[in-house]
Structure 1
Amino acid sequence: MDQTLPELKSDHDRKKELLVFDNTKAGVKGLVDDGVAKIPQIFIHPQDDDDDDLNEKSSSSGTSIPFIDLKDVENDISRRNIVVEEIFRASESGGFFQVLNHGIPINVLDEMIEGVKRFNEQPQEVRSQYYNRDYATKKVVYNSNFDLYQTKASGWRDTFLCSMAPYPPSPDELPETCRDILMDFTRHIQTLGITLLELLSEALGLDASHLKDMDCAEGLTVICHYYPACPQPELTMGTAKHSDSSFFTVLLQDYIGGLQVFHQNRWVDVTPTHGALVVNIGDFLQVIKDMFCSSFQLN
């Protein structure tokens, strides 16, 4: 973070500014479209006490997130055993790994990224029709920062979220610009999710169907982040450091990069690899893993 941060106004009414921003229903993309040259104070991230320490631990080389090749895991038992061991080690050591030959065609991944761009780059009056914060009843939610009113500093991002399982929205509820690819991507990612649950079950020393039988494959939420170009990127962040509370997350990132994970006590760049998907072991799966590891002697 740049050491020459602008002086923050002491009389700044953050709540009022948040409401004004939220009520535009235009998101961060709306600010960019309006030609904003200085980002609003609600997006400025004050420097954390541990920023210097984290910067010293940052790394763009050396430590890396392991790649796991899923080729032939369904029909080659010896290959499957190797993959199960690799997943177990990756889950234990850092909770992140990247998968290749996962069964999702690259053109589907590319079209999913393009669909997210198409949605966010529509005219504001089209996007704003989907803008809401009703996570309880809406299956499609578009807004900027789900925690806009809870955090000290907002992220420079917009998001649309689609709850695709177990009760998917009707096709006409999905944005037309990405409707077909959302449904296609969902079918593929559900199949991959079941495969990963089987491999994770075996890595825990359980039957392959154990986690699926616990209904861990029932839910699926597709969350699509969009990070518009920022005129003052040194003052803000797209997404602040956090952990995921989900069971596990499959991340599809574009080919610009920017994702970092805290791995082996340092921040590591996850270099985009065309066709690869990043798997993040979430907090809930970590709890299950700890529970079973205390009950089973794993090799």
Structure 2
Amino acid sequence: MFRRGGLDADMELMLADLIIHWLIRGAGDSKLKQVVLLELAAGRAQEHGAMPMNSGRPGTFDAADMAAKDNYGTAAALVKCHHESRGGVRGLVESGITSVPPYFQSPAPGSPAVEKTTTFAMPTIDLSLPRAAIVSLVGEAARTCGIFYVTNHGVDAGAAVSAVRTFHELPLASRSPLYTITPVDGVTYGTMPYAPGQGVGPLLPWQDCLRFLSSTPDFGRIPEVCRDALVEHRRRMEEFGKEMAGMLLEALGVGPERLDVEGWLMACHYYPPCPEPERAVGAAEHTDPCVLTVLAQDDVGGLQFRLDGGSNNGAWVDVPPVPGALLVNIGDVLKCATVVVAMVRVAVDALRAARAVVVKCGTITMDIIDATSLPTAIKR
């Protein structure tokens, strides 16, 4: 599309920025904006010398190439182009792309595939049982795997997941004015970059995310068509999260009077269909920096979980969606309690978009959760 040459590097970059802003602010076709974005991204990376050929596909590179060259500036420029398009990953898919752009994170080299033959069965906790039985089951799940389904919880999770789909599949003209990766009134929307590590550029996951960060986010910023369902889901999740955290601490032998759960984050994830799912990740493997995470997902799924301990140690398994169930996994805050902290990741699908609503229940303010203060029964 663009023939390069005749201008110095700084002038070409400035001209590229002007073209991007002109296209974004004008009434141009959204597909054209995304095509221009990809052309400029490839041109910038080649200009910085960080576009080695990969798998025979011209104009591509992977995370290892970038890390080896310490080419943080190039990655940042590509990501900046992506954000300036204000279309997110869904905008790229709507433009008709047939390959993954070079600024998206690939699975880590040697990352294990999902184990299809494991005999692991995810624990399920039925909240209609007597409380003592629930607490016992929560404690057992915390000791063995750190992740479990919850049924009969009284939450209409399907309404929230449907609202997430409604928001992310709005026309670009309705979504793009809300695009910001820095909080505005406690709300962000966009393709959220991973925090860069040493010598690694700020690569992006294959997902767009609407997040509500503060204790009182301004839900008025989002369209009315999906607002009420998300407001209600956040309210119900605060109640559910406190109840579940209380039972978890009770299972650990800590009195509920010591509980003070603070800080909530609700993330509405959308994983568009990916033309090359083997070259992208919806979310890299991670643990959650919170007390616990509550997930409502649609029937597409994509969440995967790493088994630790036993004959399946280190194996990754799919976490299939269970209709009507919520999924709870234990976060980093309870590492010192000798429970299992769940390691998870998200794969993407070639044909179907996936939606999920995640609520991270914050920190626990207390001073007695350590290995020496816990009952012997829960120590591993």
Q: TM-score range by the shorter chain?
A: 0.7 to 0.9
Distance of 1:247 and 1:146 partners within structure 2: 23
Pick from 264, 268, 271 the counterpart of residue 320 of structure 2.
Answer: 271
The residue number in structure 2 matching 1:130 is 178
- Do the aligned partners of 2:193 and 2:204 also contact (CA within 8 Å) in 1? no
Residues in 2 aligned to 1:122 and 1:191: alpha-carbon distance in whole angstroms: 30
Counterpart position of 1:140: 187
Structure 1 residue 188 corresponds to structure 2 residue 236: yes
Query: Contact 2:147–2:330 at 8 Å: present in 1 too?
Result: yes
Aligned residue type for 1:35: G
- The amino acid that maps onto 1:163 is L
**Which residue in 2 is equivalent to 1:45?**
106
1:126 offset after TM fit, Å?
1.3
Deviation at 1:146, TM superposition (A): 3.7
Find the partner of 1:96 among 130, 136, 147.
147
Structure 1 residues 98 and 164: CA distance shift in structure 2, 3 A: farther
Q: Equivalents in 1 of 2:56, 2:141: separation in Å? A: 38
Corresponding residue for 2:276? 232
The structure 1 residue matched to 2:220, chosen from 172, 183, 203, is 172
Tell me the residue number matched to 1:205: 253
**In 2, distance between residues paired with 1:140 and 1:171?**
8
Query: CA offset at residue 281 of structure 1?
Result: 0.4
Q: Specify the SS of the correspondent of 1:234.
A: helix
- 1:253 counterpart = 2:331: no
Higher RCO (CA-CA < 8 Å; seq separation 6+): 1
The answer to whether the 8 A contact 1:164-1:186 is kept is: no
Rounded to whole Å, the distance in 1 between the matches of 2:174 and 2:234 is 24
The 1:191–1:185 alpha-carbon spacing in structure 2 relative to 1, beyond 3 Å, is same
Query: What secondary structure is seen at the aligned counterpart in 2 of 1:134?
Result: strand
SS at 1:240 equivalent: strand
Aligned pairs, how many? 277
1:70 to 127, 147, 153: 127
Q: Against the structure 1 CA distance between its residues 125 and 60, is the aligned structure 2 distance closer, same or farther, given a 3 Å change threshold? A: farther
How many angstroms apart in 2 are the aligned matches of 1:33 and 1:60? 36
Write the distance in 2 (CA, Å) between the matches of 1:91 and 1:29.
36
Q: Which amino acid aligns with 1:260?
A: Q
TM-score (norm 2): 0.67
Alignment CA distance shift 1:164-1:234 (3 Å)? same
Contact 2:192 2:208 in 1 (8 A): yes
Q: Distance in 2 between matches of 1:97 and 1:262?
A: 13
Aligned-partner Cα distance in 2 for 1:119–1:274: 22
5+ residue gaps, structure 2: 1-53, 340-368
What letter is aligned with 1:258? Answer: G
What is residue 82 of structure 2 aligned with on the other side? 21
Structure 2 CA distance, aligned partners of 1:36 and 1:160?
Answer: 23
C-alpha displacement at 1:6, in angstroms?
4.7
SS in 2 for 1:260: strand
Mapped to 1, the partners of 2:193 and 2:76 lie a distance apart of 15
Give the equivalent residue in structure 1 for 2:372.
294
Structure 1 residues 171 and 239: alpha-carbon distance in aligned structure 2, compared to 1, 3 A threshold: closer
SS in structure 2 of the partner of residue 43 of structure 1: coil
Kept after mapping to 1: 8 A contact 2:191/2:208: yes
- For 1:140 and 1:60, locate their aligned partners in 2 and report how far apart those are by CA, in whole Å: 41
- Name the CA shift for 1:5/1:159 in 2 (closer, same or farther; >3 Å): farther
Q: AA paired with 2:152?
A: N
Maintained 8 Å contact 1:88/1:200: yes
Aligned partners of 2:193 and 2:117: how far apart in 1?
Answer: 29
Quick check: 1:35 aligned with 2:96?
yes
Corresponding residue of 2:359: none
Opposite residue 30 of structure 1, the aligned amino acid is G
Q: 1:282 aligns with which of 311, 317, 331?
A: 331
